[in-house]
Chains A and B, each alone.
Chain A
Amino acid sequence: MFLRRLFLALCFFTPLARAADMPDLVSPENRIVIGENDAPWRELAAELRAHGNVTAPFTENRYLPFKKIPVVFTGRMRLSAEGALSLQYESPEKQLMLVDARGVMLRDSRGRTREVPSDPRANAATTALLHVMRFDLDALSRNFELYGRRDGDTWQLVFDPRPGELSRVLNRLVVTGKDAHVKQLEMRKSALQGIVIVIGEADTQVKFSDEERREFFR
């Protein structure tokens, strides 16, 4: 039993364990100061924005403090050039989550749509997430401490919410990428609680059909 647990921990807690190394990254030398050392990151941001519409498969691992193994979701994400993020979950249940300027919308497999009630804190989180999606460094720097590190063609960015309303609803957000592609999004609450989204091979400059826009956006 102990071995089984250890194995599970090794398998599934790895991303969180890696994230636990973040103090290395969250240090003064990696801090991005707008107008001072942000030039390389602006180039990356420009490259990411130049992708236009993006679509990619993803795997989302939800780590819960009361569950021994994470809950795993798989699906396809769509990021529109306008900055709306659509997560089409395919397993364990078909459902859709859309995050856009109007807030968060959920649609179940029967097509029932529900809008998540907006409240100031949730709005702040949604807005922040959208800024992340657009890599809008100026807007992000108003609400987050930004840290970044490059290692060859891989890179990591940390968005640490500044103390205040946002920090109560959004945890540290870590974005990992390779070249001009985002590979992983990680939101951590604690060592045992967090969400890690692993993004597969992305298609860029995708043209969403009208039907796709209707189905996956609003």
Chain B
Amino acid sequence: MEPARQKFIARLILFVFALVGAFWLLRLDYGRKISTNVIDLIPVDERAPELSLVRSLTDQQQARVLLLALSSGSEAPPAEAVSAFADSLRRSPTIAEVEVLGASETRNALGTFVFERRFDFLLPRWLAEKHAQFSSTGRPASEFSTWLAGDTAEQLDHFLTRAESVAFQELLPSDPLLLVPSLVEKIQSLAVSSSGEVNNHALVWAIVRDSPFSEAGQDPVFGAIESALSEARAIASEVELRWTGVNRFAAESKARIKAEISWLNTASLIGVIGIACLFVRRLWKVLHLVPVVLFSTLGAWVVTTMVFERVHILVFVIGSLLAGVAIDYGFYLYMQPALRPDEPYREKLGRLLKPLLTSCLTTVIGFSLLFWSELPLVQQLGVFVSAGLISAVAVAMLYFAQLDRAFLETRNFSPPSSPRARYIVRPLFALALIVAVVGPWCLHWRDDIRQLEIPAVELRANDAAVRQLFGDAQERTAYLTHGETPALARAALERFTTWHDAQFPHAPATSAGYLLPTEAAWTQRGTLLNALADFPEKLRPALDTRGYTAESFEPFFSAWEDLRAAESPAYASLFTDIRRVLTGPLGLLFHLDENGGPSWFLTLADHPPGAEPPAETSTFGVAQLESLNSLFSRYRADTAKLSIIGLSIIGLSVFVLYGLRRGVRIFMIPAGSCFFALGLLGLLGQPLNLFHLLAAFLGVCLSHNYAIFSAENARRHEPPPPSIRISALTTGISFGVLAFSRIPVISALGSTVALIVFTALLMVELEPLGQTSGHKKPPAN
């Protein structure tokens, strides 16, 4: 092909690629496409149902909650100021729901509902329990009314001997069965966490309309809160606000990541330019490598955003390191001198094609395997890097095809060859071998999802303080009970409660689900009511005998007659009613599907996490952090398995392409540097996580390139090509800078890759010196 035509075709392809890529990226809605939500790292269809539930609970419900505590010096702020604050929030389109905790209207509405509907919601369970107790006495069924009347009077006596009974005095003439006091006792803990004034703070609970991880769920919400505070201060100027919400963390994290990326890139750029100044004779020519990196990144972005509906931002942060791999191909092609002055580009390319394609495709095969990971982040990273590498190698070949002289002259800094060098090098290799063999046995793993974010110490402290005001006890354990239908979920809750009360007798569980009867108790209610036709007649004398004035209980007797005359509502209607009345924080404690689908109840217990509920209770302890961390452990094991398969394929392909002897040398460099790096981390006691593993995989792929690119020179006993040195140093510095990141996982990634890359470079550079024959002088550049 004519050089002019070759240039034209190369430029045309690059232009079209750039155009199509830019068109695709410009039409994307980045707000929807890119997620900053940590929870998006968990697959939507996570196979463990409890983790799916935790994901849904965390993402859809809890993440949108705002907790706002108003104070006024050492006193609670005036009620008018609190109302103005809440009303202002209610008017904001960014806020879906606002509740002033402990507000008498809400509490009264709930109290009125429970009292008025006590026979629908509370009586069924009471009747079922009493009937079970009666059955255990072995007395004939006809005596049920008499027995129940005596028991009721006795229980009333017992209740009145309790100090707190004074609070229910007004209620008892209407509720001698103690339905409401019993419920209040059962759900006491929930009431504590939704009380209104604690330590002179007025507590306001709100739900954000948009996702706290989206723009709409952040700045506009912060504005609405500011504006609400101004309105409160217009009434009482000394009002102060402390608040917390996931959106605060998300916004802070985003801002910190932006700042982080900015300084990391700057530091990395300075490092790379420094290396280039040191090694490259004509610095400006380095600019020819920029398009290779840019096109590679473009390819990676386009393919990843095409393949995935939603991509996590960490993919781009980690994926930006792709530049370190992509530039290798540019360096290799650009720094190889022509064999003769008139060697055409096609001929030079043909000569370098095998190592170039071997290095690229084996790495791509390795990363492609990550696509089969369960973890979306790892899948996306696999596609991102694979697409980026293919783009990089293709663009490097095309880009240098359209240059008149595709050659970058370098300064030679080869280590001096001396026969005595092997006396230093060999012990060094022996030491490295010991580290590589012994160190990995000292490795230990710690998977912590919090390492994905920059620790926001002040926000965490503020969050803990505000949550404490809202009654979040440290020693509280949360359980989630689920079922295929609301009725099954409620039945499971009953089984769980029985188990829990036996397991933790001094710390009974509390659930909003206790307000709802089980379907079995509901069905039984009608039958038992019929059997208790004469109950009022039996209860009157029973009360009288125990010193009560039976006529005082006329409100109860009247309501009982009304109940027997009324038609029983459908069981499903109870779900609708309970959803309507339990709003605000209490509304987050259960989910009853409107169409009778999967539902759940959250149960709280004031004890530290202990025994896990048995499977038949369909309940699990919701230690969300631990759940997510164990999930990450599982994914780490998955990724490790895929990485080993990927590395095996890479190794195998090297043996097939280069034969056993050269294959062993090529494979030893990446494998050896990887084991050395992991061994060193193990000996230093550094706990590893999923991201160290990904970094090791990335490091192996990079060092694999150096091994292949130096293979030809090694065969000829020549020092490795200078491109490897520059490439490894720039990559090592870029990743080394990441080691200083405040995001723990990025730091882990950077330090691991840098360690592997520098080790591989040393292996490539020192290997010839350690050999008995040494190596020839490097070719002149």
Contacts and interface: CB of A to CB of B under 8 A. Distances in A.
B576 to A, nearest CB: 27
Contacts of B191: 117
Interface stretch (B7-15, B230-238, B544-552): B544-552
Contacts of B663: none
A119 B103 CA distance: 8
Nearest to B507: A112
A97 B548 CA distance: 26
A198 interface: no
B772 interface: no
B169 A64 contact: yes
Interface stretch (A35-43, A88-96, A207-215): A88-96
A66 interface: yes
Interface stretch (B155-163, B322-330, B528-536, B558-566): B155-163
B19 to A, nearest CB: 65
A62 B196 CA distance: 29
B715 interface: no
Interface stretch (A68-76, A136-144, A145-153): A68-76
Given A71-B160, A111-B506, A121-B104, A66 B549 contact: yes
Nearest to B160: A71
A120 B197 contact: yes
A80 B26 CA distance: 72
Contact of B196 (A69, A87, A119, A193): A119
B107 interface: yes
A123 B195 CA distance: 11
A18 interface: no
Interface string B188-230: 1001101111100000000000000000000000000000000
B102 A112 contact: no
B710 to A, nearest CB: 72
Contacts of B126: none
Given A67-B548, A67-B549, A193-B169, A119 B197 contact: yes
Contact of B552 (A65, A114, A118): A65
Contact of B188 (A66, A114, A121): A114
Given A117-B195, A120-B197, A195 B547 contact: no
Interface string A77-88: 000000000010
Contacts of A119: 102, 104, 107, 195-197
Contacts of B166: 62, 195
A106 B192 CA distance: 13
Interface in B136-187: 160-164, 166-167, 169, 172-173
B553 interface: yes
B506 A89 contact: no
Which among A64, A114, A115, A121 has the greatest number of chain B C-beta atoms within 10 A?
A: A64
Given A66-B548, A68-B548, A118 B196 contact: yes
29 contacts: A64-B169, A65-B173, A66-B172, A66-B548, A66-B553, A67-B160, A68-B549, A69-B547, A73-B161, A93-B161, A93-B162, A95-B163, A97-B163, A97-B164, A115-B192, A117-B188, A117-B194, A117-B195, A118-B197, A118-B198, A119-B102, A119-B107, A119-B196, A119-B197, A120-B76, A120-B102, A120-B196, A123-B197, A195-B166
